[in-house]
Structure 1
Amino acid sequence: MGKLENRVAVITGGASGIGKGMAAAFVKEGAKVVIIDLNEEQGQKTIKELHEYQPESMFIQADLAEKQKLPGLIEQVIEHYGKLDILVNNAHATKIKPFEEITQEDLDLSFNTGFYPTFYLMQAALPHLKETQGKIINFASGAGINGDTNQASYAAAKEAIRAISRVAANEFGPFGINVNLISPIANSPGVQKWAQEQPEYYQSMLSKIPLRRLGELESDIGRVAVFLASEDADYITGQTIMVDGGATKLR
């Protein structure tokens, strides 16, 4: 029996990167995973890989920026599986720019793909998570915690996600629902692209990681997500877990 045997988990942005790493870790622990992603081609490819371990997993193609459709995504999961145990809000798009160059469009991109989907999916999932005493895992970032340069729109949305997660931990706790955050540094396709575009900044970031490496998508980030989604983390809520090789040490 895996740690997540027969549990139903939703992972946004699950077609690639950190989301895919978590999805792989979840199915290997017995979870039925629903990956929600904008990228149809990558989503279909990923779900085929997940079916090798858990044939009852499924892919839903959706644009999370379409706020009015978010509750329907949760209802689709409930109609198919009859329950929801785990909600992972991982998806987030952003643009890296100096503060003075950030536009309303840039802010909208970050909040519409990161903050608002996290908020509305938590809201829609709440009645169902009450029934299962489920888990919510949201995503923070060192960009917001440390105030990384050229990341204002991303940092703002990520810190807003941290804020509502702490509120939710207090409000949802009496129902037995745990709400935690992961703040990762991972070897994702996005980070690889960023390393090519800004090699000096990338090397500077890497040199500040005590373990001197990026986290692996499945074995590092995915395994921590499995822990937070399992009974092992039943007495942890409202916390930001830094899965970043020691780069940021919260006080």
Structure 2
Amino acid sequence: MRLEGKVAIITGGAGGIGRGMTRALTKEGAKVLVVDINDDAGDALASELGDPVRYLHADISEESSAAEICAAAVDAFGSVSVLINNAHASRQAPLLQTTQEMMNLSFGTGFYPTFWLMKACYEQLKATEGSVINFASGAGIDGQVNQASYTAAKEAIRGISRVAANEWAADNINVNVISPLALTEGIEAYIAANPGVEEALLARTPLHRFGDPEADIGRVAVFLASDDASYITGQTIMVDGGSIKLR
């Protein structure tokens, strides 16, 4: 029970990688506030996992939601010691066809909520000497085509994570980033709509498989949230089977 006594907030925690992390963290003793807009999935996960989980419907694209989310976790469990900013929505398009609306969607659901929640939870994280886990993407690190709005927001998240890691080190708050490749509902839909994509992705992945949201991504989140990772901060952890080389 490596996370006994820890309280985590996970945005986008009811589906995909978020659901995998919720399951992984609760198995290690954490209590989790699952933040999502999919009520059916959120209620189902809370019912599945029981007392260690509370579901909160919240629109993270609204700045005011950050303080409400932090307060909800404290009301439910007494503190916040782990903040996992996982939720992010975006639209694909070539750079010349990327609109301001696409940029607003990506930054408004990815970068800005990460920024707002880090600020809202700071005092709690300081009190608990906690951890922040943000999410990047190999698409941003590699500059993948048709991903202008997504990669811009993901790289901005990496940048602000490094700033927070440096500024908050004196408070014993560690801030790290996971860059994953996992088989989620979104990836499955993308593969179904784009013949040949699965083969291309696996061909460039040395381990030649997609990660599992719980067993692969979730276990790394457990490690980063645990005391075992207390001397790791400001890092991007590539959990992608070797498909992207960090540079």
Task: Output one character per residue of 1:156-186: Cα deviation in whole Å (capped at 9) or x when no partner.
Answer: 0000000000000000111000000000000
Mapping of 1:205-244 within 5 angstroms?
Answer: 205-244=201-240
| Cα deviation 1:119-140 (Å, max 9, x = unaligned) | 0000000011000000000000
SS in 2 for 1:149: coil
State how many pairs are aligned. 247
SS, match of residue 223 in structure 1: helix
- Percent identity among equivalent residues? 53
Residue 20 of structure 1 corresponds to which residue in structure 2? 19
Q: Which runs of 4+ in 1 moved over 6 A?
A: none
Scaled by the length of structure 1, the TM-score of the pair is 0.96
Q: How does 1:69-108 map to 2 (within 5 A)?
A: 69-108=65-104
* CA distances 1:179-219 after superposition (whole Å, capped 9, x unpaired): 00000000011000000111223321221000000000100
Q: Which residue of 2 aligns with 1:161?
A: 157
C-alpha RMSD of matched pairs (Å): 0.9
**Offset from partner CA, 1:67-97 (integer Å, 9 cap, x none):** 1222121112112222111000000001111
Residue identity opposite 1:228 in structure 2: L
Structure 2 residue ranges without an equivalent (≥5):
none
> Unaligned stretches of 5+ in structure 1?
none
Aligned match of 2:35? 36
SS of alignment partner, residue 233 of structure 2: coil
Deviation readout 1:88-121 (Å, 9 max, x if unpaired): 0000001111112111111111011100100000
Q: Answer yes or no: is the 8 Å Cα contact 2:30–2:52 preserved in 1.
A: no
Give the equivalent residue in structure 2 for 1:133.
129
- For 1:112 and 1:73, the matched residues in 2 are separated by 16
* Alignment partner of 1:120 is 2:99: no
What amino acid does structure 1 have at the position aligned with 2:120?
Answer: A
| Matched residue, 2:54 | 58
Q: Is the 8 A contact 1:194 1:202 kept in 2?
A: no
How far off its partner does 1:46 sit?
Answer: 1.2
